[in-house]
């Protein structure tokens, strides 16, 4: 398979970016998108050109670092799929593929396709923890938790912090990410003592980082590689309102 790639190149945060066109040839349909980029970089290095900078780590859809905008969609055309799990058979032979970094004021470009997502870290630091002493691992049956609550907590905890929700939102809102981090603790007993304060602190930090507001259009849920529901946003908003009383 052969592709025409329009890749965003930006030397540094303070430099102006631009699209550059490359050809990716002899690409196997079984290659992942990251492997295709690796193949492109090998060719660029052999020609003496600067390879394209991008992030990847686990290559298993767990870490979220491989986040890219592909043909205008976060992580590309696959549903519930990260960039590293997207295979080239998802595209047509000869297709033109536009590859960009995530576009958001709170995610400034570092170089080429790499953005700074440390704003997410600061949101978690604001309240995404419990202050009770955990000690050694407790027995699994020591604290009874209903299966419904346990399942919902795990659904929220699946968030990998990739930022696809922010990149797909017209307001660059981080509500889905923040709601997932708030909600997975609000469903378990260990997270109850600080539940309301946690929602308040994390939302305030989110606003301070410059993320926009949610308009309930669900673009975030549509592109989330873990399929996290916007219902968690409603739950977080209820906790935030309660924290005001």
Same fold for the domain at 3-111 and the one at 117-242? Answer: no
**Matching residue, tokens 């507001």:** 213
Identify whether the C-beta of residue 71 lies closer than 8 Å to the C-beta of residue 97: yes
- Which value, to the nearest 10 degrees, does the dihedral of the CA atoms of residues 168, 172, 176, 179 take? 170
The yes/no answer on whether domain 117-242 falls in CATH 1.10.1060.10 is yes
pTM score: 0.92
* pLDDT, one tens digit for every residue, the chain (245 residues): 999 999 999 999 999 999 999 999 999 999 999 999 999 999 999 999 999 999 999 999 999 999 999 999 999 999 999 999 999 999 999 999 999 999 999 999 999 999 999 999 999 999 998 887 767 777 777 888 899 999 999 999 999 999 999 999 999 999 999 999 999 999 998 899 999 999 999 999 999 999 999 999 999 999 999 999 999 999 999 999 999 88
Cα-only R_g, the chain: 20
121: Cβ contacts below 8 Å, ≥ 6 apart:
none
pLDDT at 18: 96
Domain ranges of the chain: 3-111, 117-242
The yes/no answer on whether domain 3-111 falls in CATH 3.10.20.30 is yes
């Amino acid at each position: 398979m052969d592709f025409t790639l329009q890749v965003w190149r930006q030397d540094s945060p303070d430099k102006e970016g631009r699209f550059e066109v490359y050809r990716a040839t002899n690409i196997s349909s079984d290659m992942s998108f990251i492997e295709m980029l690796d193949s492109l970089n090998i060719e660029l290095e052999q020609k003496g050109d600067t390879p394209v900078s991008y992030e990847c780590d686990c290559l298993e859809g767990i870490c979220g670092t491989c986040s890219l905008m592909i043909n205008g969609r976060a992580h590309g055309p696959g549903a519930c799929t990260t960039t590293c799990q997207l295979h080239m058979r998802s595209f047509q032979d000869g297709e033109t593929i536009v590859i960009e970094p995530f576009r958001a004021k709170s995610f400034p470009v570092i170089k080429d396709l790499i953005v700074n997502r440390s704003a997410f870290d600061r949101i978690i630091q604001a309240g995404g923890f419990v202050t009770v002493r955990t000690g050694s691992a407790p027995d699994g049956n020591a604290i009874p938790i209903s299966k419904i609550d346990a399942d919902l907590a795990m659904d929220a905890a699946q968030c990998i912090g990739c930022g696809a929700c922010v990149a797909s939102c017209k307001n660059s809102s981080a509500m889905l990410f923040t709601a997932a981090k708030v909600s997975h603790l609000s469903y378990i007993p260990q997270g109850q003592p600080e539940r309301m304060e946690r929602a308040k602190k994390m939302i305030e930090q989110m606003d301070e980082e410059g993320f926009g507001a949610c308009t309930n259009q669900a673009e975030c849920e549509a592109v989330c590689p873990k399929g996290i529901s916007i219902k968690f946003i409603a739950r977080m908003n209820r906790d935030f309102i309660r924290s005001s009383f």
